[in-house]
Amino acid sequence: MTRHMDSPWWRDAVVYEIYVRSFADASGDGVGDLPGVRERLPYLRSLGVDAVWLTPFYPSPMADGGYDVADHRGVDPLFGTLADFEALVHDAHELGLKVLVDVVPNHSSSEHPWFRDALRGVGRDRYLFRDRPNNWQSTFSGPAWTQLPDGQWYLHLFASEQPDFNWRNPEVHAEFLDILRFWLDRGVDGFRIDVAMGLYKAEGLPDVEDQAFASVSPIWGRPEVHAVYRDWRKLLDSYPGERMAVGEVWTDDPADLALYVRPDELHQSFNFSWLQAPWSPAAFRKVIDDTLKTVPFATWVLSNHDVVRHRTRYGTDDPGTGLARARAGLLMMLALPGSVYLYQGEELGLPEVTDLPPESRQDPVFKRSKGELPGRDGCRVPLPWTPDGASYGFSADGVAPWLPQPDEFRTLNAQNQAEDPGSTLEFYRRALACRRELARSVPYALEWLESPQGALFFSRGSLTCAVNCGSDPVRLPPHESVLLSSGPVEDGVLPPDTAAWLRTS
């Protein structure tokens, strides 16, 4: 299946995730904001992405970096104003970039007016209050229940400042349809749905033995959730343009993902099996095969604001190896059929920051686990834009960013990389430009080629992708020319931890 003119934009889009508080700070308070994003839109245009996904910028006490939403229809002053948001959407559209926003339907902030009412005993049925807790644990560690002074308990699958909604109450359903309308009316092109396999819990909230994110359990993946997405799909389809939704669905089984992307439900769901796969040809091949067999329109993602950056994940003990693999992994991902989600900073080859001082860490995972789990701050460190200044151009000069940046960020800054043809940033630009030109005109179907030990060769029409995950160099398959490679390729030999795109006849 080749890309036809009438194929919707999202099917093979490259979407760039902006973790707003760490992208660029225009107001000079040390926290990234919407005007900061707006100023940097030309950077994203020249990087070559098709769309941006903005993480929550709604009014929030920031107990979970904004995923604790107190008002789903506003902008927190920390991030700007509604007018700033509208200006951002306007400029993005002028530049040909689509804009996705995060919708957080599983829970609200404990400062949400509905929850404040509930605390006074009004409308508790919008949340999950019980006289006795069950044995569920918070995903952020510790119990999933908090007791109020009047004796009742409320459920929160995440932080205690994030009470779970009761989706069996039709008021919740109606409220979210209205929230989606609010942002669709302001021109957004789609939504990223937080905890998309949450929302409904099994009737009676039974105890569980194992509560890992799973296909279907009393906590996750209840079949009732699909009716919600059918209604959301109808709403999205009722708007002009190709509005879409992508669900955050954590599962090991692509068959689960397929349920969320049935033709009358969500357009896409994240494919986290890809980022969970180790640096191994067999593991990559299995995820690719399982995905393409089961999911109608594939997505691929290597990093986001919740996981260790893939340069470090692939890094063993040697940062050079991690970077080489990260670049090779990108080329492999961009050669696959479907759409790709990038996470801010991966285009600079940023590593996970593993040595943040405990007092600077803000993730509730770190706090709730009493420091036992490092949490996710290490992938959320503000971006370095320039070689100089207190925050390498992230904030105004002299302003400390909300998380400290390591010295290494000085050399990884975007400005220097833009001037260096060998940089990771320039490599990303070339790869995205090449994908735009070529990969979109090749067939959707992928064919495996015979590959030497440790390597993976596949082709889509006249494009062949060769990746060497092993420790010995391998010979490239027959080809007319090398279009692009993630590292040096000479005399038809592909070194370890390197990928190449080849043109074949």
Q: Which is nearer to ligand NOJ, 362 or 391 (CB)?
A: 362
Locate 51 and state its tokens: 């769309």
368 neighbors 141 (Cβ within 8 angstroms): yes
Nearer to ligand NOJ, 158 or 183 (CB): 158
Least distance to ligand NOJ from the beta carbon of 436, Å? 28
143 or 389: whose CB is closer to ligand NOJ?
143
Fill in the DSSP letter of residue 407.
T
Is 437 assigned a catalytic role? Answer: no
The amino acid occupying position 259 is: L
Nearest alpha-carbon partner for 429 in 20, 54, 14, 5? 14
Strands (E), 28-89: 51-54
Task: By CB under 6 A, name the one of 164, 194, 347, 497 that touches ligand NOJ.
Answer: 194
**Closest distance between ligand NOJ and the C-beta of residue 472, in Å?**
39
Residue 26, number of CB atoms within 10 A of its CB: 18
Q: Which of 33, 50, 64, 194 is catalytic?
A: 194
- Residue 458 binds to ligand NOJ (criterion: CB under 6 A): no
Closest approach, Cβ 363 to ligand NOJ, in A, equals: 8
**Which whole-number Å values give the CA distances from 349 to 388, 412, 495, in the listed order?**
18, 7, 20
Residue with tokens 């955050």: 248
The answer to whether residue 248 is catalytic is yes
| Minimum distance, C-beta of residue 139 to ligand NOJ, in the bound complex (Å) | 7
CB of 104 to ligand NOJ, least distance (A): 6
For ligand NOJ, give the closer residue by CB, 70 or 469.
70
- Give the C-alpha distances (Å, rounded to integers) separating 120 from 59, 68, 452: 22, 20, 67
Closest residue to ligand NOJ, judged by C-beta, is 67
Collapsed DSSP state (helix, strand, coil) of residue 502: strand
Q: Which of 160, 115, 100, 108 is nearest to 133 (CA)?
A: 160
- Report, in this order, helix, strand and coil percent for the chain, each rounded to 5: 30, 15, 55
- The answer to whether the beta carbons of residues 145 and 156 sit under 8 Å apart is yes
**Beta-strand pair 447-449/455-460:** antiparallel
The H helix count followed by the E strand count for the chain is: 15, 18
Both structure tokens of 85: 């948001």
* Residue 195 binding ligand NOJ, by CB under 6 A: yes
Q: Please tell me what DSSP assigns to residue 124.
A: G
List the alpha helices (DSSP H) in 314-363.
319-334
Structure tokens at 61: 């006490």
Cβ atoms within 10 Å, residue 129: 18
Cα–Cα–Cα angle for 221, 227, 233, rounded to 5 degrees: 110
In the complex with ligand NOJ, the residue whose CB is nearer, 213 or 444, is 213
- Report, in Å, the least distance between residue 194 CB and ligand NOJ: 5
Identify which of residues 78 and 425 has a Cβ nearer to ligand NOJ in the complex: 78
Q: What's the min distance (Å) between Cβ of 129 and ligand NOJ?
A: 20
- Fill in the per-residue mask, 3 to 42: x = in contact with ligand NOJ (CB under 6 A), - = not in contact: ----------------------------------------
Within 322-361, the residues that bind ligand NOJ by CB under 6 A are none
Give whichever of 12 and 161 is closer to ligand NOJ, judged by the CB atom: 161
- Distance in Å, CB of 19 to ligand NOJ, minimum: 9
HSE-CB for 260 with a 13 A CA cutoff: 29
Question: Which of residues 145, 158, 191, 394 is near ligand NOJ by CB under 6 A?
Answer: 158
Binding mask 98-137 for ligand NOJ (x = CB under 6 A): ------x---------------------------------
Q: Nearest approach, Cβ of 299 to ligand NOJ (angstroms)?
A: 15
- Enumerate residues 6+ apart whose C-beta is below 8 A from 282: none
From residue 276 to residue 305, the character string flagging contacts with ligand NOJ as x (rule: CB under 6 A) and all else as - is -----------------------------x
Q: Does residue 164 bind ligand NOJ (CB under 6 A)?
A: no
**Nearest CB to ligand NOJ, comparing residues 106 and 413:** 106
Contact status: 306 vs ligand NOJ (CB under 6 A):
yes
Which entry of 12, 76, 102, 248 is annotated as an active-site residue? 248
> Which is closer to ligand NOJ, CB of 40 or CB of 156?
156
Q: Compose the 36-75 pattern: x for residues touching ligand NOJ by CB under 6 A, - for all others.
A: ----------------------------x--x--------
* Binding footprint of ligand NOJ, residue count (CB under 6 A): 9
Amino acid identity, position 401: P
Phi, psi of 482, deg, nearest 5: -90, 120
- Residues lying near ligand NOJ in the complex (CB under 6 A) are found at 64, 67, 104, 158, 194-195, 248, 305-306
Active site residues: 194, 248
